[in-house]
Chains A and B, each alone.
Chain A
Amino acid sequence: MLSRVAQRIYWMARYLERAENTARMVNVNAHLLLDLPKKLPIGWSPLIDITGSGALFRELFADASEKNVVRFLIADARIPGSLMTSLIRARENARTIRDIIPREGWEIINALYLDTKAALPTALGQKRRFVFLGSIMGKIEQLNGLFSSSMLHDVGYNFLRMGRNLERADMTTRIVDVRSESLLPQESEDLLPFEHVQWMSVLQSLSAYQSYVQKIQGPVRRRSAVRFLLQDPDFPRAFYHCVLQIRACLRTLPNNDTPMRFVGRISRIRRARPDEMEKNQLHDYVDRLQLNLARLDSIIAQAYFV
């Protein structure tokens, strides 16, 4: 397989995953805010922090109101991390590999881009947004199903899986980081009921709530939620699970010495105890995880895309 084709499959998968994650994050945050006491200074700014685009946001908008944040994260094609940008980039990548991905796949991506662009001017208000973003997520899930059931599970498909899992792991670390940092003051008795609510929403933003409940069978607490999201081997959006997926893909590829060695290093997370870490420690730890993902991305690029 041509390196460029592999690279474009990989990035198409990353952008699709990013679009889906962004949509889910916005929907979950809207729900969370409805449940929290109005006096809490939480609002919409954590979402900007999750995407790591605070500086750009402050340049373009005066305040982190719902309207501004939603517009920033969803609609603006000038903003590198927005949902619209992700769809544009996913489509541009898909266009160049139309002969590799299933034909319906291209048609869905193309329609998703066109429909989203057409709907944007009217779809971002509180009333319609939930359904609108839900349907975008649904389309991307449909694509994942289509790729899985009709693409050859060969080299190209492995690059698709690697892109998707790397992006997933990245989003999970970002959400854990920002939410454990900024949601609520850690030890405050009168807000305890809301700790439950906030971690529930964190799990929901990674569509992890049901899986969590099935597996942990206890109340939603910071410690077990962090452990679940970072270290569970079976939950598809858990950091460790994503790393295992990437390792499985790499194992089938040629010239995999360097990337395999590095993935081996990242999988040591299995034995770490992030749940016992203090706020600052956890922040530093998650920071390191993110740096590792960035390293992994460039190691994969170095090994296969140049």
Chain B
Amino acid sequence: MPIRWKNYVVAEFYDELIRSTSRTREWARPLCRFFSSLKDEELRERKTAAELAIRSMGITFTVYSEKEGGSIDRAWPFDIIPRVITKKEWLQIERGLKQRVTALNRLIDDLYHAQRIIKDGILPGELIADSENFREQCVGVDPPGGVWAHICGSDLVRDKDGTMYVLEDNLRVPSGVSYMLENRAVMKRIFPELFDHYSIEPVDDYPTQLHECLASLSPRKQKFPEIVVLTPGIYNSAYFEHSYLAQQMGAELVEGSDLVVGDDDCVYMRTVQGLERVDVVYRRVDDLFLDPEAFHPDSMLGVPGLMRAWKKGKVALANAPGAGVADDKVIYAFVPKAIKYYLGEEALIPNVPTYLCIDKTERDYVLANLDKLVVKAANESGGYGMLIGPQATNKERAKFSRLIRNNPRNYIAQPLLTLSTTPTLVNSHAEPRHLDLRPFILSGNKTYVTMGGLTRVALKKGSTVVNSSQGGGSKDTWIIDTEST
């Protein structure tokens, strides 16, 4: 039986397409009508075609498996029903993201210089003193334009009243943008007729914008600065993305061993012609592995002397080392205050209310309400190091209670948001599944926000974990102009 929207039950959540059971949102009607017009067989054919396209386009993420003798590429699970946001709403979000990233960059720069925000009593100094992501090595460094986080991926979620919140900021090496681009390419290939019904904002200019952003950082002012993408190598789960972005930008994809820092503190890559100077390194290697001279002495991924070259301004690193100090989940709680402090503005996109375990009153509240809260470790990502209280066992809660008491600085708690849902294909009908959104914000000589971003969806019924490594999939994200059509 084809998709019947009247059978789609909107529970207590906010649904992105369906206002309430049997009532689609006005601008979603052509989309819903289209999907319900497809017969089962057609639906299956399109789904198979999408899967084939994904496989043949080589869109994969890598998982490492001892059993299978090395790394394996997995196709990225993709859902064919797009996620839609109106342009009117999006422009608000875009402004909010630009505001947030501007403030975050000011915050990072301040933390590595005068630390005014601490001296003025806005941010407790001990949070920085014990931050795992604060890098002594970066103190006093002046990256071009005072920008540290050139590429930021902030995760947005929508609560049941429809409000968008920032759930977290990723300021180190955020990934996923290649899937955003490829998801659109797949949709255009499989559902060209859908694009007739809507005017959908294109996303394809991201590689160009990224290239421009990186080029603007070049220490040598020349027309074609040498830009490289530094990858940890094929065993990294995001290797596909590294190679994809390098290819799209026409940049070299390099590994640590391809680069060498000369006596003149400039960075060079080894080519068959000999050494060639590198201006900008878009590094997808974590801080601690960047330079064995400055960080982990046994890192095989890094380039000895890279930090020296960066500090002397001979090469640009994007993102700058140390930028991660501001995506710590504890610092996150202070971002609205930082926006106010640096920009004199109220945050346009709110934070999720956050309890800091370092504060005794808040910690006691958290410990007493573990069954209602989500607890997160300050520096973990990818859905690891997390307790979802209402769904956890007593044993798991007891473990986190212990962890929090042992190291309160490292934990925060938030109420369990009732993440919004959107119709997702299950067999041949649509069911609500929870989702989030990761837009990407570029900061160089100007600030750019992707049109939409990567929508990740929890494919398991009732689950709110959207990470690809834990059963998540993704959808194409449409920003539609409802006024012009």
Contact = CB atoms under 8 A, between A and B. Distances in A.
Contacts of A2: 252, 254, 258, 269-272
Nearest to B246: A99
A65 interface: no
B273 interface: yes
Task: Give the secondary structure class of B's interface.
Answer: mixed
Contacts of B58: 98, 103, 106-107
Interface string B46-87: 000000000010100000000001100000000000000000
Contacts of B257: 4
Contacts of A1: 271-273
A254 B273 contact: yes
A3 B69 contact: no
B258 A255 contact: no
B255 interface: yes
Contact of A99 (B233, B247, B258): B247
B270 A306 contact: yes
A106 B73 CA distance: 13
Interface in B263-297: 269-274
Contact of A155 (B69, B270, B272, B274): B272
B443 interface: no
Contacts of B70: 92
A159 B272 CA distance: 10
A293 interface: no
B270 A96 contact: no
Contact of A254 (B234, B255, B258, B274): B274
B210 interface: no
Interface in A225-266: 253-255
A194 interface: no
**Max chain B Cβ within 10 angstroms of own Cβ: one of A1, A3, A255:** A3
B253 to A, nearest CB: 6
**Max chain A Cβ within 10 angstroms of own Cβ: one of B56, B58, B69, B253:** B253
Nearest to B231: A96
**Max chain B Cβ within 10 angstroms of own Cβ: one of A99, A107, A155:** A99
B234 A96 contact: yes
Contact of B234 (A95, A155, A159, A304): A95
A106 B56 CA distance: 11
A191 B243 CA distance: 60
**Max chain B Cβ within 10 angstroms of own Cβ: one of A4, A6, A155, A255:** A4
Contacts of A98: 58, 243
A254 B70 CA distance: 36
Given A95-B234, A103-B58, A254-B274, A4 B255 contact: yes
A68 B273 CA distance: 46
Nearest to A96: B234
Given A77-B69, A99-B253, A4 B234 contact: no
Interface residues of B, number: 21
Interface residues of A, number: 22
Given A98-B58, A103-B58, A3 B270 contact: yes
B276 to A, nearest CB: 9
Contacts of A95: 234
Contacts of A159: 272
Interface string A62-84: 00000000000000010000000
B274 A255 contact: yes
B234 A3 contact: no
Nearest to B243: A99
B271 A3 contact: yes
Contact of B272 (A6, A88, A99, A103): A6
Contacts of A99: 243, 246-247, 253
Contacts of B254: 2, 4
B227 to A, nearest CB: 14
A3 B272 contact: yes
**Max chain A Cβ within 10 angstroms of own Cβ: one of B69, B233, B253, B272:** B272
Nearest to A255: B274
A4 B246 contact: no
A99 B255 CA distance: 14
Interface in A99-115: 99, 103, 106-107
A3 B258 contact: yes
Contacts of B243: 98-99
Nearest to A110: B73
Contact of A4 (B56, B258, B273): B258
Nearest to B228: A2
A77 B272 CA distance: 32
Interface string A31-42: 000000000000
A107 B234 contact: no
B273 to A, nearest CB: 5
A4 B272 contact: no
Given A2-B258, A3-B258, A96 B233 contact: yes
Nearest to A6: B272
Interface in B195-250: 233-234, 243, 246-247
Contacts of B273: 1, 254-255
Contacts of A107: 56, 58
Contacts of B274: 254-255
A254 B246 contact: no
Contacts of A106: 58
Nearest to A106: B58
A105 to B, nearest CB: 12
A96 B234 CA distance: 6
Interface string A98-139: 110001001100000000000000000000000000000000
B448 to A, nearest CB: 24
A155 B271 CA distance: 11
Interface in A278-306: 304, 306
A219 B252 CA distance: 55
A92 B234 contact: yes
A2 B260 CA distance: 12
B69 A4 contact: no
B463 to A, nearest CB: 31
Interface of A: 1-4, 6, 77, 88, 92, 95-96, 98-99, 103, 106-107, 155, 159, 253-255, 304, 306
Q: Which 5 A-B pairs have the closest CB atoms?
A: A3-B270, A99-B247, A304-B272, A6-B272, A254-B273
Interface of B: 56, 58, 69-70, 233-234, 243, 246-247, 252-255, 257-258, 269-274
11 contacts: A1-B271, A2-B258, A2-B270, A3-B270, A4-B255, A92-B70, A92-B234, A98-B58, A159-B272, A253-B272, A255-B274
Given A2-B252, A98-B243, A107-B56, 18 more contacts: A1-B272, A2-B258, A2-B271, A3-B270, A3-B271, A4-B254, A4-B270, A92-B70, A92-B234, A96-B233, A99-B247, A99-B253, A103-B58, A107-B58, A159-B272, A254-B274, A255-B274, A304-B272
